[in-house]
Amino acid sequence: MIIKDLPKSRPISFDQVLDKVSEIVEKVKREGDKALIEFTEKFDGIKLDNIKVTREEIHAAASLLSEDIKKAIDVVSEQIKEFHTSIKPPQIGGGKSGVDFGIIWTPLEKVGIYVPGGKKLYPSTLLMAGIPAIVAGVEEIYAATPTKGKIDPAIAYIAEKLNVKEIYKIGGAQAIAALAYGTESVKKVDKIVGPGNVYVQAAKYIVSKDVGIDGIEGPTELVIVADDSADSEQIYLDLLAQGEHGNSTLLVLISTSDRILREVEEKASSSDLTFYLVKARDLEEAITYANSIAPEHLSLQVSSPREALKMVRNAGAVTLGRTPPAIIDYSAGPDHILPTNSWAKFKGGLTVYDFLKPISFAQATNPDKELINAAITLARYEGFEIHSKSIGERYV
């Protein structure tokens, strides 16, 4: 279906499923493993004997993986590791008025990674979340993924490679609840990361009052901004590629070129996906439209993409020129765990920073008298007399 207008809302909003997901979350909190087994049979048609994947199961599954897939995983791992290592923050410090201060970056202790399943397999998600966690220094990594009774060989190989502590054979909202609150079999974590369907994202939103989350990531979104220098066949292929994630994918082409819009419309007319095709007067208007959507993926298929990038304010990840957006999903280096549902207006994609927390410190050994008097004055103004005395006792 072709719609020649900007989308008024996302194809599916997790607001529509919050009540149902809340019931699932509360049942897992109350009943633990029993609820997980019940929901897995109800939603996935699998009766679990054991929620945890054993070490023997992981090793046996990993041994089935072909050497070419192992090699691909190893190559991609190094690229992702280099990206996150290159942006890892240094310890920062300084001083003024006789006070030394700074930030120490400390890794989270326990992280849960949700690896989606269902119609498609996403072992790459375990790489995308696990590697920055390791670069940050996280010691305990746990993963949950719907297994249909057997763990995927690529997920098993990656889990061994990254030394994942435990893997759980559960998916959906119930998996998020289990990681957030813990059960007899599932370890409670400090933060949950990973993409997923609308139910998974709704569950992350619900549990975020009790546990950290990386953001809302799903369903997939792609906005392409194109001028007349672009290739309509490549544009259509890029739209179709993201459409592989399902009918809930948001697919938007904004172009200054009548030719590009016409050719893409002709190619897309036989697809069962929904495409939004928007005509822009110029590049500035096109990127303004894109910024208003704040998409997960933004592709700038224009003659001067670096110049266009300067106008981008809201996007999870941006590919430039004829770089395919799909390469972000696998091997470019930046993460494919990206904000959706307009969260790109205030949040970026997953990085090593998501697994670090800044702890500020200060040491006032011989502070300036003016600085101390200012602190005492403000404390008294706010009515905190003991605060002022605590400061004055040491320095006045």
The residue range of the domain holding 71 is: 15-89+97-213
Q: Given this model, what pLDDT does residue 193 score?
A: 96
Give the pLDDT of the chain (396 residues) as one tens digit per residue.
Answer: 788 888 776 655 677 889 999 999 999 999 999 999 999 999 988 899 899 999 999 999 999 999 999 999 999 999 999 999 999 998 888 999 999 999 999 999 999 999 998 777 889 999 999 999 999 999 999 999 998 778 999 999 999 999 999 999 999 999 999 999 999 999 999 999 998 888 998 999 999 999 999 988 878 899 999 999 999 999 999 999 998 887 788 999 999 999 999 999 999 888 888 999 999 999 999 999 999 999 999 999 999 999 999 999 999 999 999 999 999 989 888 888 999 888 999 999 999 999 999 999 999 988 999 999 999 999 999 999 999 999 999 987
* Total of domains in the chain: 3
Does residue 1 fall inside a structural domain?
Answer: no
Q: What pLDDT score does 309 carry?
A: 97
Regarding whether 159 and 81 lie in a shared domain, the answer is: yes
Q: Per-residue pLDDT tens for 181-192? A: 999 999 999 999
Query: Could you tell me if 49 and 172 lie in one domain?
Result: yes
For residue 182, is it within any domain?
yes
Report the pLDDT value the prediction gives residue 197, as an integer from 0 to 100: 86
Give the pLDDT score at 16: 81
Query: Which entry of 297, 307, 336, 385 is annotated as an active-site residue?
Result: 297
User: 265 and 159 in one domain?
Assistant: no
Q: Say yes or no: 162 and 49 in one domain.
A: yes
Asked if 152 and 61 sit in the same domain, the reply is: yes
Whether 84 sits among the annotated catalytic residues: the reply is no
Residue 356 covered by a domain: no
| Same-domain check for residues 253 and 318 | yes
Please indicate whether residue 266 is annotated as part of the active site.
no
pLDDT, tens digit (0-9, with 9 covering 90-100), for 120-178: 788 999 999 999 999 999 999 999 999 877 899 999 999 999 999 999 999 999 999 99
Last residue of a domain, one of 213, 243, 276: 213
Which residue ranges are tagged as binding site for Zn(2+)? 242, 245, 329, 387
User: What pLDDT is attached to residue 1?
Assistant: 72
Catalytic choice (296, 307, 370, 385):
296
Residues 175 and 262 grouped into a single domain: no
User: Do 314 and 197 belong together in one domain?
Assistant: no
Question: Is the same domain home to 130 and 225?
Answer: no
CATH at residue 243? 3.40.50.1980
- Mark whether 139 and 238 lie in a shared domain: no
Pick from 174, 241, 145: nearest CA to 20: 174
User: Does pTM top 0.95 for this prediction?
Assistant: no
**Is 271 found in the same domain as 196?**
no
